[in-house]
Amino acid sequence: MKFPHLLTSLAIFLTFSLATQASSTVAVSEQAAPGSLAPNSMSPALNSTSPAPKVEIPRTAVFELTDPVSKRIYPLWIKLPRSYQSDSERHYPVIYVADAPYAFQIVSGMTRFPMNSGKMREAIIVGLSYAKGDKGPQSRVRDYTQVVDSGWKLETGGASQYADYLQTVVLPFVAGRYRVNDNELTFVGNSLGGLLGAYLLLERPNLFDHYVLGSPSVWFKGEQILSLTAKARATAKQAQKRRVFLAVGALETPAKAGMLHDMVDGADKLSKHLKKQLGDVLELEVLTIAGARHETAFPTTASQGLYWLLARDGEGNTQ
């Protein structure tokens, strides 16, 4: 049985929480638990009869898109740049973020100051959420793995179909609704999301231009990802550089953090494989994050990776 390896790949699932999809904005709200203590004299009084206010991410809307093949419905979270309405001629880079319930708010928060201050070019942020009716692990293990592994209790091997959904539904929807720069589409993925990103980079090279890959699950199915060869890009994009930011926590090893899989070694193997497959068109930046574990590495991966990709005036060097 290979089932124990679920403990590693699902470790960060407990931090994922699905946001309510009914609103036109991504929002969270908090209400006092029944029977909780009344606020003390130093706190403002709470009106127990009024609904708690929601905390909303500015300029963010939620759409529900249907995969025509599987009939699954996937919420799509889209945040527009601050200048989008006032600068009606500009076309923007797009950042596509896997595991939206966990990662979208991280990417949204960390890009706000550098984008608003002009240190980082503004971009549209698109959160790829899980299929409605699925729990997070069920949706991501199916959609983010590139080959069937019968040792898993959950369904695996749906990455090709999910890539079809991205190609035929998501990307056309975003491009048709917003002013996007078709040559600056970035995919951000962590853990199994990082594995999906590596698969898309090699097997579906026309979907995205650049990648931020955090702690990719290279170990999945006996490191099968390392057997893939890079498919040719469309003629118009063959000479375009593929910029890839690959990061992993320094403690993501069995010896240092009790991991079942050595993510540091996996990232190193993937780095070498990408160099071999992509050659001169690859611009690769690799970062080992000191003191970071699998549960804590992604915020640094996202902030450093996106700054490297989108910083103005060459300020994105991580060295």
pLDDT (average), residues 133-160 = 97
For 177-221, write each residue's pLDDT tens digit: 999 999 999 999 999 999 999 999 999 999 999 999 999 999 999
End-to-end CA distance of the chain: 42
Q: What is the radius of gyration, based on Cα positions, of the chain?
A: 20
Give the model's pLDDT for residue 75: 97
Whether residue 124 contacts residue 70, with contact meaning beta carbons closer than 8 Å, is answered with no
Residue 147 has pLDDT above 90, yes or no: yes
Whether residue 123 contacts residue 93, with contact meaning beta carbons closer than 8 Å, is answered with yes
| Alpha-carbon distance values, 55 to 29, 116, 128 (Å) | 6, 20, 20
Mean of per-residue pLDDT scores for the chain: 87
For 218-253, write each residue's pLDDT tens digit: 999 999 999 999 999 988 888 889 999 999 999 999
pLDDT band at 35 (very low <50, low <70, confident <90, very high): very low
Q: What are phi and psi of 263, to 5 degrees?
A: -70, -30
The per-type count for the chain, helices as H runs and strands as E runs, is 10, 10
Q: Which residues make beta-bridge pairs with 214? A: 190, 247
Whether residue 294 contacts residue 11, with contact meaning beta carbons closer than 8 Å, is answered with yes
Whether residue 270 contacts residue 218, with contact meaning beta carbons closer than 8 Å, is answered with yes
Q: What are phi and psi of 188, to 5 degrees?
A: -120, 125
Give the model's pLDDT for residue 198: 98
The separation between CA 39 and the C-alpha centre of its own chain, rounded to angstroms, equals 38
Give the model's pLDDT for residue 315: 53
When comparing pLDDT for 114 and 32, which is higher?
A: 114
To 5 degrees, how large is the angle CA 278–CA 218–CA 199?
50
For 284-310, write each residue's pLDDT tens digit: 999 999 999 999 999 999 999 999 999
Count the neighbouring beta carbons within 10 Å of the beta carbon of residue 9.
24
Tokens of 33: 């638990």
pLDDT band at 51 (very low <50, low <70, confident <90, very high): confident
Confidence (pTM): 0.85
Give the model's pLDDT for residue 314: 56
> Which residues, other chains included, contact 40 with Cβ-Cβ below 8 Å and sequence gap of 6+?
none
